[in-house]
Amino acid sequence: QVQLVESGGGSVQPGGTLTLSCTTSTFSTSLEYMAWFRQAPGDEREGVAAISPGGTNTYYADSVKGRFTISRDNAKNTLRLRMVSLKPEDTAMYYCAASLRGIEPLIPTYDYWGQGTQVTVSS
């Protein structure tokens, strides 16, 4: 079974930068789509960014496009999300997800999920 573990969350000031990481027990470029989702208290879980197995295609929510960058290092079994120009609205629990099949990239229908890492953006 694929196991995902997120790290890198924390508290930053508006305009700050954070990089989240997700390590997985296995990274298959042909079988695993990867994505980041987030959920703030009282809100629905939303797709933030997703990446195809080979890293060729990336997808972003409009709210983060231009500020967040998703990438994957398959050799290191690592997914990353670099977040710059962070806003208070970005505050949420961020989850790493993986799918063994082709799916809608920003829809939470993934097969595996991490436990989440908290990102807090405030003054």
pLDDT score of 31 more than 80: no
- Give the range among 7-21, 90-104, 109-123 with minimum mean pLDDT: 90-104
48: confidence class by pLDDT, cuts 50, 70, 90: very high
Q: What is the pLDDT of residue 100?
A: 81
DSSP one-letter string for 18-81: EEEEEEES---TTT-EEEEEEE-TTS--EEEEEE-TTS--EEE-TTTTTTEEEEEEGGGTEEEE
List pLDDT tens digits, range 56-83: 999 999 999 999 999 998 788 899 999 9
Residue with the bigger pLDDT between 25 and 111: it is: 111
pLDDT score of 96 more than 60: yes
CA–CA gap between residue 24 and residue 22 (Å, rounded) = 7
**Token pair recorded at residue 54:** 């080979």
Q: What is the mean pLDDT of residues 18-41?
A: 84
Average pLDDT in the chain: 92
66: left (phi over 0), alpha (psi -120 to 50) or beta: left
